Amino acid sequence: MKRLILLVIGCIIFFVGLNFFFISTNNNNLNIYLILLAFFFVFERSMFKIYLELEKEKVNRELRSKGGTRLFRKKQYCLDTNVIIDGRIFEFFRLGIFDGKIIIPNFIGEEIHLLSETNDIIKKSRAQRGLKNIKDVLDDNRLNLEIIRVDKKKRIDLELIDICKDNSLILVSNDKALIDLAKTYSLQVIYFEDIIRSITSNIKIGDIIKVDLIKKGKDKNQAIGYSETGQMVVVNNGENKIGQTIKVKVLNIVNTSSGCLIFSKEFMEV
């Protein structure tokens, strides 16, 4: 407030001095007067902008001293491995639901690359999708992605927490244990699975959905795949369609601790 008062007083003194100059010199040149008046308004606006920036920085310093995050800055989201592989988070950015910069530490990309070379067909398939997601984001001018380099010295979950804590980042993950741990450090977190559940909870028995089939199921002729929203789907008599994307009809939905499991059969259009 003191700074604002001083700014106003300074502007008044400037304006009064300007008028005194013209009175004392008997200068009636209107053009010069208008130019100086315009200069006054530009000067006033510039000083007010400086004042606002000083006040913003003052608030930010106070927040940091209390362990808070910065105000007046665009949000930055640090993504865990599982949400990158999942891929739906990027559609939220494209739609503007999340607004800000996407941060991916280099060791997260390296972990996904290692998973893409594993012998486990499910992990390999999902990791390859994760690498494709990163490439698509890098090629998308609408999204702001930064890959930061960090010398990893701890477990991945602890490194993520340190990065978010040091840079005031919002941690986005589908790992409930990591989210709970991050909360103990007073970090801002988003448990992405909660968002997805709220969106996909409207899937009902009898609905027709698309599924990418990737491996055999436990029972004879069963196949397992994933829906477009990332949910695991068991398809009866779908073994001969592994590697394809097919339409299925939802027969049953079972809620588990890791999400909902959908049982289905292939939908034959007539």
In a domain, 151, yes or no: yes
Name 102's bridge partners: 77, 145
Q: What is the pLDDT along the chain (270 residues), one digit of tens a residue?
A: 555 555 556 666 666 665 655 555 555 555 565 666 666 666 666 665 665 566 555 555 554 454 444 433 468 999 999 999 988 888 888 877 788 899 999 999 999 999 999 888 878 888 898 999 999 999 988 889 999 988 878 888 899 999 999 999 999 999 999 999 999 999 999 998 888 777 666 778 899 999 989 888 888 889 998 887 777 899 999 999 988 999 999 999 886 655 678 899 988 775
In a domain, 71, yes or no: no
Domain count along the chain? 3
Domain identity same for 106 and 128: yes
Domain identity same for 129 and 193: yes
Range of the domain at 86: 76-198
In a domain, 117, yes or no: yes
pLDDT value of residue 182? 94
* End position of a domain, from candidates 138, 169, 198: 198
Domain identity same for 163 and 236: no
Structure tokens at 204: 């009902």
Cβ atoms within 10 Å, residue 224: 20
**Secondary structure (3-state) at 115:** helix
* End position of a domain, from candidates 198, 232, 253: 198
Residue 65, phi-psi category: left (phi > 0), alpha (psi -120 to 50), beta (remainder): alpha
pLDDT value of residue 98? 82
Alpha helix positions (H), 140-245: 156-167, 176-183, 192-200
Distance in angstroms (rounded) separating the CA atoms of residues 94 and 105: 21
Domain identity same for 90 and 140: yes
Q: What H or E segment, with its residue span, contains residue 23? A: helix 2-25
- CATH number of the domain encompassing residue 146: 3.40.50.1010
Distance in angstroms (rounded) separating the CA atoms of residues 170 and 161: 10
pLDDT value of residue 39? 62
pLDDT value of residue 41? 63
Distance in angstroms (rounded) separating the CA atoms of residues 111 and 60: 35
Distance in angstroms (rounded) separating the CA atoms of residues 33 and 37: 6
pLDDT value of residue 20? 58
Distance in angstroms (rounded) separating the CA atoms of residues 46 and 198: 47
pLDDT value of residue 189? 93
Distance in angstroms (rounded) separating the CA atoms of residues 269 and 248: 10
pLDDT value of residue 69? 42
* End position of a domain, from candidates 65, 89, 115: 65
pLDDT value of residue 9? 63
Distance in angstroms (rounded) separating the CA atoms of residues 199 and 193: 10
pLDDT value of residue 165? 92
Distance in angstroms (rounded) separating the CA atoms of residues 17 and 198: 64
Domain identity same for 8 and 80: no
Enumerate helices (H) and strands (E) in the chain, giving the number of each. 9, 10
